[in-house]
Structure 1
C-alpha cells in the first residue's frame, strides 16, 4: 500500500513526519512488515534522529551547513549545489521495521523530512509491505 503526503517547508528544516508514518502504518492494517519512507526530491531527504530535544535538529542543520557550505566555485546554474550535497549525504529513503502494527523506533527516535532548498511544497511517500 502506498501513501502520499504533501508538506510546505521553510528555507531549511527538519520536519518531524513520524505521526504521518504511524498513521500510514495503522491505515494499512499491516502488523508485521516493512515501511519505506521515500523523498522524490534531489534537494531534500529522509532521516531518523532524536526527537526529544529540538536542539538536536538545530545542531544537525548547523553541522550539515558547516560540512557543505555554499561555495562560489560551485557551477550548478540554480545555485543550490550545497543542497544537493546535503541531500546525498542524508539520503532519499529510510526503511523501518513494522512490528505489532507500529514502527520499530528507539525511545528518542523520530522520522524527519529534511529540507535543504525551500521554501517549497514537497511530497514524500510511505510504502507499506507486509
Structure 2
C-alpha cells in the first residue's frame, strides 16, 4: 500500500458549483496508484464539496437556488459577523458536506458518466479555497 497527500488551491469567483474534476483526476493519475480510495476534504466552514452532474449547467444553477431557499440570507440569524451570507454559508456547508470518498479504479476516480467533483462556494465574494486530497492504494 502507498499513500499520497496534496492540497489544491481553488480560486472561486463567488457563489456556485466550481468543477475540480480535471485537477483531482490529474493529480490521481500522477500518483501511479491503480486501485485505492481517494478522500477529498474541504478546509472551510462556508464552502463544501459534492459530486454532481457535469453535463447540464442548469443543474448547478438549480442546486444553488435550492440551497438559497433552504438557508436564505437575512433570516434573523444571530451570527452575521461577515455579512448576511455568512450564516447561510455555514448551513449550506452542513447540508452538502466537506468530504468525499471516491474509489480509484484503473488509476482514475471511478465516477459515473455524468458525474463531476465540485467545490461549492457558498459565499458571494471570491475566495481561494483549499481542498486536501489523500489517496491510499496500490
Q: TM-score range by the shorter chain?
A: over 0.9
After TM superposition, give the deviation of residue 103 of structure 1 in Å: 0.7
Tell me what 2:76 maps to.
Answer: 73
Matched, 1:105 2:111: yes
After TM superposition, give the deviation of residue 17 of structure 1 in Å: 0.4
Tell me what 2:21 maps to.
Answer: 18
Tell me what 1:125 maps to.
Answer: 132
TM-score by length of 2: 0.90
Q: Deviations over 1:30-79 (max 9, x none)?
A: 10000011100000000000000001000000100011101341011233
Matched, 1:59 2:62: yes
Distance 1:106 1:113 in 2: 18
Q: Which of 96, 99, 113 in structure 2 is aligned with 1:90?
A: 96
- RMSD of equivalent CA atoms: 1.0
How many residues of Structure 1 are paired with residues of Structure 2 in the alignment? 130
Q: 23-32 or 70-79, which moves further after superposition?
A: 70-79
Moved over 2 A (4+): none
Q: What are the ranges of 5 or more consecutive residues in structure 2 without an aligned counterpart?
A: none
Q: Which of 40, 45, 48 in structure 2 is aligned with 1:45?
A: 48
